[in-house]
Structure 1
Amino acid sequence: MLSVKVKRRVYRTYDVGVIAAVLLVILYVYLHTYGNMIVRSSSNVAQGVSSTIILDENGREITRSKVSGRGYAEYASLQDMPEMLVEAFLATEDRRFYRHSGLDVIGVGRAVVQNMIHMDWNQGGSSITQQLARNMYLNGNKTMIRKINELSLAIELEKKFSKNDILEMYLNQIYMGQQQYGVKAAALRYFGVKDLKQLELWQIATLAGMPKGPSIYNPVDNEKLSKERRRVVLSLMHQQGIITKSQMQEAAAVEYKPPRLALLNLSSTPAADGHEPAYVSAVDAIIQEAALLTGKSEAEISSAGWVVRTGLNPGAQRAMEETFAETIWFPDDREDQQVQASMVLLDQHNGEVKAMMGGRNPMKGDINRALIDARQPGSVFKPVIAYGPALESRKFTPESMLPDRSIRYGSYQPRNVGGRYRGTVSLSEALQQSINSPAVWLLNQIGLREAKGFAQRLGIELQAEDMNLSIALGGLHQGISPMKLAQAYAVFANEGRLNKAHLIREIRDAHGRTIYTHRSDHRQVISRRTAQEMTHMLQQVVSRGTGKRAQLPQEQVAGKTGTTQAAFPNAPKGANRDIWFAGYTREWTGVVWMGFDYTDAQHYLKSGSGSAAAMFAAVMKRAKR
């Protein structure tokens, strides 16, 4: 007979065994269900993602977008990678990759032994499949449940994908420091190498050493530690017969030299002084335009790996940014608020935007003042709504005489600035001197309906609230954007032909297939004669009228100024809310707006529209250097 004590031990052992068996079953079920559930519900995570690249008119990279807000990536197939690169990562991270099913038991055992010998517990033993699972689906918390989840996901990945697919995903997902994800993005960032098959052995070993500590083993942040880590990788490659001893020694001795920034075109990376990179307003506008053209969200576009070719001119953009950075153009700045400004420059011959600034210090995602219909255009709108329709009607010519006197139109009675009336004045002189009374009289003669149709042909849609005579002086209910005004003036500059203003020339997907190509309209929307007569009159505005400060050496400028007065109670004389200049040369059409975001008794412009004309000239001079 068994003693009571023995029986108790047997029962306890049996109970423990049962509990252990139940726990093992639960663990087994969990391992085979959790990973399946997560991978099935997040199938898009495994898709290859790359940063979308935006190019200027010369095909040079302006910026590359961050993928999912994390960093920069460029997908490469396993066939695009040199065999030595793949072998280096396998030798360093998972030498038994092709012989295990997600969990390398031998590798884990080896890591445990190493941890016990060195007492530092740094050896993790995670397989490449486990690392991929962690990178794609989990966070970096070092807990038991996370390790179990990682293993479950690794098992499911091994079921769903081939070994080559897993390796390819890993080499494209792995974080490589400096906001770079994947070996291709890292090769460009650290070595200026775009074709992975052009990588040298020392570069391959440097890349393979980074996953262990991306922030300390990349050569930009720590050249010394990176070189030491490179030696470790080369030694492992030599031990496993991948390279010879002489290859190991030669590659270990190479000193790192960072590539030239001009080669990398890393304008997407914030500058060291903390300022946003160039083209910020334009890049935001490009992504918005691409979303409208393709129906994709901005997040989808950023990680689609597209190549977006634009018409942006680097010289013009640089000229605009340099000018906007100079405080001399903004004498009305206050301590608590800056005068704001925006500008658009486009090619009237095809509608391409050449440069854009949505504010003085634009930040990604900021309001883009170049694109929003928020400001009254003042007299800069007169050619669009009064003088243009009058010339197009053939009832008036530049020499036609117009009344210049105080006239009441029902409850509306426009006034000339300064209260001066000349009796009669030619249509050309009325535009040249920006006289209010003749412009309103002219609109009344032409009719609001005809004027609205003329503006519409120039790309400006007016609302029912706008249909009154005050529109002759720029009294728009909602306001207008510099972009729309530039497109309208470009019709005058292009002898009556309209080309829709746009930033994007072409979009190609990650496989090089064209998914969008812009085709300019070149539609004749007003007569060539009207456009030529308007251009001649607007040239006089600049040569001897209100736009004198827009003059350029050895080049004729046509243009018009515009001013809206500040409307707060008891506003002092000369207090302005908005100042404008819209003008063009033989090549480009540009519009400048300046003003405070919020105008009140403490924040208004003392400057007139001549300041906007002067800024136009400053940008154009720099752009032509």
Structure 2
Amino acid sequence: MNTMQGKAWRKIMRSLYFSFDLAVIGAVVLLAGLFYFHLYGGIVVGRHPEKLVLPQSSILVASDGSELRKIPLPESGYRLRARLEDIPELLLDTFLAVEDRSFYGHEGLDYKGIVRAVYTNSIHMRISEGGSTITQQLVRNLYLNRDQTLLRKLNEASIALALEKRLSKHDILELYLNEIYMGDGQYGIKAAAEHYFGVTDLKKLSVAQIASLAGIPKGPSIYNPLYKGDLPVQRRSIVLGIMKRQGLISNEEMMTAMNTKHQPPQASNTMSGASYMDAALREAAQRTGKTLEELKTGGYTIVTGMSAAAQSALEQTFSSPEFFPPDGKDQQVEAAMVIMDHRTGEVVALTGGRNPAAGSLNRAVIDARQPGSAFKPIIDYGPALESGKFSPDSMLQDRKISYGSYKPQNLSGTYQGQMTMRQALQQSVNAPAVWLLQQVGITKATQFAAKLGISLAPEDANLSIALGGVHAGVSPLKMAQAYSVFASGGIYREAHLVRQVTDSNGRVLYAYHPDGRQVISRATADSMTGMLRAVVNEGTGMKARMSRPVAGKTGTTQLGLPGVSSKGNRDLWFVGYTPEWTGAVWMGFDRTDADHYMTAGSGKAAALFSAVMSRVLGR
């Protein structure tokens, strides 16, 4: 073999060795890829079982069964779960005809579709979404992003195969129909059907509505029925044509559906009830042991005691500036109100501010403001009546008396020497109230208040509580709770917003059980009601009068800032009741200072009480 031949032979051998090395490397890469493809999907599905439990919007319901609010999911959308058994066959068949005709024949991947997609991608020199089955679409939405890369497509296929091994076709289809985005913040076909058509029972969907729903997934933002333009109608017509070709509908049904115009559901009222619903959610969390996040995303139904009429009357009245004192330099006068049905304990309406939003400060339930003279029936006159040593006609001392360093004064600066209990309460005179508390004893008085639902702290064990000087303050809710005992003849019924909580399967997790119990005597309650009616008819609460009997008490806490008018006030209250309902109103600034205080009196709060109650109960 000459030199030239040797060189050629060595060159051939090097080429053979190189080809062999490439083949080995290629085989290793292929085996590694197959190994990755085989294992990756199973690992992802196994490590993330939570992905298969879809968050659902919980629903708050009024006392009459009407829906108050669907709670948005963390992604700011809404989902209502539908079982496959609750979905009409025509809707299922239509979705399969449009999205994945071979769904029941493949194991997660449509190989014919993949070949078609590869061919198309090769021609256009790009990667598209072609060849995706319903399982792949579900995988993409649950586990992956929408990056147009070969690795993402490989991962998608791997997870789809793993998911098909773990779940039945029934479960995959149900997950898909509940998970898929349907435009305008709606996830799943049930939420979409209710949002776009006002249909809550999916089996009542028309052919046209089914075609519209099935057409949305291809382009949720442009094919949903609320999109302005012809695209939704055009897409619906395409789907109807598919339905006709697949033998799902007749030609007559297709033509009728094509000529059907979309009728959006009637808009709900503008009542927000934000404060009420925030408080109801927190109460439901306490009663069920669930976190707020679990309650919001678990598909629960929370039935409340809200009266839609009362809540609407409350919000309409609060929207009128005429019922409130003038605003301050850079703050609006705020207000809060609670109305409860003392016959059941249900809170029928509540607002924590004049313009509350979800998650905003809820002044109706926070113990933050001193109740002033509205506290006298709870801490002075009620305990005295209950002791049996005093009656409405008992004579009380009205003198300027010092109790150690505490020197209470009548606002008028005058003293009559003595007056009846009825007169002292009706005119809201301070000296007799403090004298009476001393006679009854602070311990017995605070025990009486606790029976009405107001537990006082040790630092409140002094005579200043006679005039509402409560260290931490009280909430309108607690004041309404306390007065409700007088209204109901001495029976305590816990103020509550939540009647019942059920899960997505209808299982009852919590239900309120009436626990009415006699905590003070009927005689005490009746005597107090008589005196409080006199306050409204002839005393400081006259602006709360209505055509029906009203009992109640005003309350004012003074500003007490050096160099500022002595007529300035921090808090205005009125707490009272009709034969049906008990209500508590508070007004004031969130931050009281020299630029933010009220010169109006508690008659403003009494007038607001009357205006709200009159709207719903009648004047």
Q: TM-score, normalised by structure 1?
A: 0.94
User: Structure 1 residue 152: deviation in Å?
Assistant: 2.8
Give the equivalent residue in structure 1 for 2:69.
Answer: 63
Question: Superposition pairs for residues 202-601 of structure 1, below 5 Å?
Answer: 202-222=208-228, 224-262=230-268, 278-334=272-328, 336-552=330-546, 554-601=547-594
Q: Deviations over 1:256-285 (max 9, x none)?
A: 1212235xxxx6xxx7xxxxx511111111
Give the equivalent residue in structure 1 for 2:614.
Answer: 621
Equivalent pairs counted in the alignment come to 612
Judge which range, 9-18 or 194-203, deviates more.
9-18
Question: Superposition pairs for residues 32-43 of structure 1, below 5 Å?
Answer: 32-43=38-49
**Partners in 2 of 1:305 and 1:394 — Cα distance?**
53
Please tell me whether the aligned partners of residues 68 and 299 of structure 1 are also in contact (alpha carbons under 8 angstroms). no
Please tell me whether the aligned partners of residues 381 and 473 of structure 1 are also in contact (alpha carbons under 8 angstroms). yes
Give the equivalent residue in structure 1 for 2:25.
Answer: 19
**Partners in 2 of 1:473 and 1:356 — Cα distance?**
26
Judge which range, 377-386 or 152-161, deviates more.
152-161
Amino acid of the residue matched to residue 363 of structure 1? A
Amino acid of the residue matched to residue 247 of structure 1? E
Give the equivalent residue in structure 2 for 1:274.
Answer: none
**Partners in 1 of 2:395 and 2:181 — Cα distance?**
73
**Partners in 2 of 1:29 and 1:342 — Cα distance?**
65
Query: Aligned pair 1:82/2:88, yes or no?
Result: yes
SS of 1:418 mapped into structure 2: coil
Tell me which of 166, 173, 182 is aligned to 1:176: 182
User: Structure 1 residue 41: deviation in Å?
Assistant: 3.0
User: Structure 1 residue 67: deviation in Å?
Assistant: 3.1
User: Structure 1 residue 513: deviation in Å?
Assistant: 2.4
User: Structure 1 residue 61: deviation in Å?
Assistant: 1.0
User: Structure 1 residue 255: deviation in Å?
Assistant: 1.8
Please tell me whether the aligned partners of residues 557 and 571 of structure 2 are also in contact (alpha carbons under 8 angstroms). yes
Amino acid of the residue matched to residue 230 of structure 1? R
**Partners in 1 of 2:90 and 2:127 — Cα distance?**
30
Larger Rg: 2
**Partners in 2 of 1:149 and 1:357 — Cα distance?**
51
Please tell me whether the aligned partners of residues 68 and 302 of structure 1 are also in contact (alpha carbons under 8 angstroms). no
Amino acid of the residue matched to residue 570 of structure 2? R
Q: 1:92 to 1:448 in 2, by over 3 A?
A: same
Give the equivalent residue in structure 2 for 1:107.
Answer: 113
**Partners in 2 of 1:487 and 1:517 — Cα distance?**
20
Tell me which of 86, 91, 99 is aligned to 2:97: 91
Judge which range, 602-611 or 64-73, deviates more.
64-73
SS of 1:370 mapped into structure 2: coil
User: Structure 1 residue 603: deviation in Å?
Assistant: 1.0
**Partners in 2 of 1:9 and 1:371 — Cα distance?**
85
**Partners in 2 of 1:11 and 1:127 — Cα distance?**
43
**Partners in 2 of 1:19 and 1:572 — Cα distance?**
92
Q: TM-score, normalised by structure 2?
A: 0.95
Q: Which runs of 5+ in 1 are unaligned?
A: 272-276
**Partners in 2 of 1:17 and 1:252 — Cα distance?**
59
**Partners in 1 of 2:350 and 2:384 — Cα distance?**
32
Give the equivalent residue in structure 2 for 1:612.
Answer: 605
Judge which range, 413-422 or 391-400, deviates more.
413-422
Please tell me whether the aligned partners of residues 128 and 148 of structure 2 are also in contact (alpha carbons under 8 angstroms). no
SS of 1:337 mapped into structure 2: coil
Amino acid of the residue matched to residue 611 of structure 1? K
**Partners in 1 of 2:368 and 2:114 — Cα distance?**
64
Q: Which runs of 5+ in 2 are unaligned?
A: 1-5
Amino acid of the residue matched to residue 580 of structure 2? E
User: Structure 1 residue 118: deviation in Å?
Assistant: 8.4
Amino acid of the residue matched to residue 300 of structure 1? E
Q: Deviations over 1:493-542 (max 9, x none)?
A: 00000000001112222222222221122200000000000000000111
User: Structure 1 residue 116: deviation in Å?
Assistant: 7.0
User: Structure 1 residue 328: deviation in Å?
Assistant: 1.3
Amino acid of the residue matched to residue 579 of structure 1? L
Q: 1:161 to 1:192 in 2, by over 3 A?
A: same
Structure 1: which 4+ aligned runs deviate by more than 4 Å?
A: 112-123
Q: Percent identity?
A: 52
Amino acid of the residue matched to residue 31 of structure 1? F
Please tell me whether the aligned partners of residues 54 and 308 of structure 1 are also in contact (alpha carbons under 8 angstroms). yes
Please tell me whether the aligned partners of residues 576 and 604 of structure 1 are also in contact (alpha carbons under 8 angstroms). yes
Judge which range, 299-308 or 465-474, deviates more.
299-308
Q: 1:424 to 1:82 in 2, by over 3 A?
A: same
Judge which range, 231-240 or 282-291, deviates more.
231-240
Judge which range, 403-412 or 511-520, deviates more.
511-520
Please tell me whether the aligned partners of residues 77 and 185 of structure 2 are also in contact (alpha carbons under 8 angstroms). yes
Please tell me whether the aligned partners of residues 351 and 499 of structure 1 are also in contact (alpha carbons under 8 angstroms). yes
**Partners in 2 of 1:288 and 1:308 — Cα distance?**
11
